[in-house]
Chain A
């Protein structure tokens, strides 16, 4: 079967750095997405990786290792508004998007 694993919940301090990991086992790979979802709201797109390496976009960076089936989202200079769930999703060989359950990130002052 296809599977996306993410930690259920993480806690970090305002101003700090946090890394949210995602491991995947899918039939084929056509890219990996990270979305942010605030409580009660819709997911919003953060990043897309299809090649190995780090993609940086402001305070957020996303890393991919296809050989390891692994990605992480790195959030720097954490702000209270970053409190949200972060969902990892992988596009498989049939171009279906397989979603993880998300990591709830709690930011403390």
Chain B
């Protein structure tokens, strides 16, 4: 089955210790997104790639970086995690970002910062 996969599902890191979250997709979608979601809040878009074009949201902290080495994979790097970065990180993909193009989500990575 075509899908969006995120690894790991749970990640524990220490304050200030860099961490990388990964996402892969077998849908061959052009667009990949990274969202941060805290409890009972709306998903917050951090950035997205349209193919190789990187689009950073204006309010995404510099502490968050992303890489998309090929169509299938996308990584989220948190350079110096703070306690406020503890959240669920969701990767999503869509064929395009127009009209009815639906975003399909991976299962998420829950990040704990000690």
Instruction: Give B43-84 as 1s and 0s: 1 = Cβ < 8 Å from A's Cβ atoms.
Output: 111000000000000000000000000000000000000000
Complex: A45 Cα to B106 Cα, angstroms: 12
Instruction: Give A73-109 as 1s and 0s: 1 = Cβ < 8 Å from B's Cβ atoms.
Output: 0000000000001010001000111011110100000
Please report whether the interface of chain A is mostly helix, strand, loop or mixed according to DSSP.
loop
| Residue of A42, A45, A101 touching B108 (CB-CB under 8 A) | A42
Complex: A30 Cα to B96 Cα, angstroms: 13
Q: How many A-B residue pairs have CB under 8 A?
A: 47
Q: Given contacts A99-B43, A102-B40, A104-B40, is CB(A42)–CB(B107) below 8 Å?
A: yes
Please report whether the interface of chain B is mostly helix, strand, loop or mixed according to DSSP.
loop
Are A50's CB and B43's CB within 8 A?
Answer: no
Which of B41, B43, B106 has the most CB atoms of chain A within a 10 A radius of its CB? B43
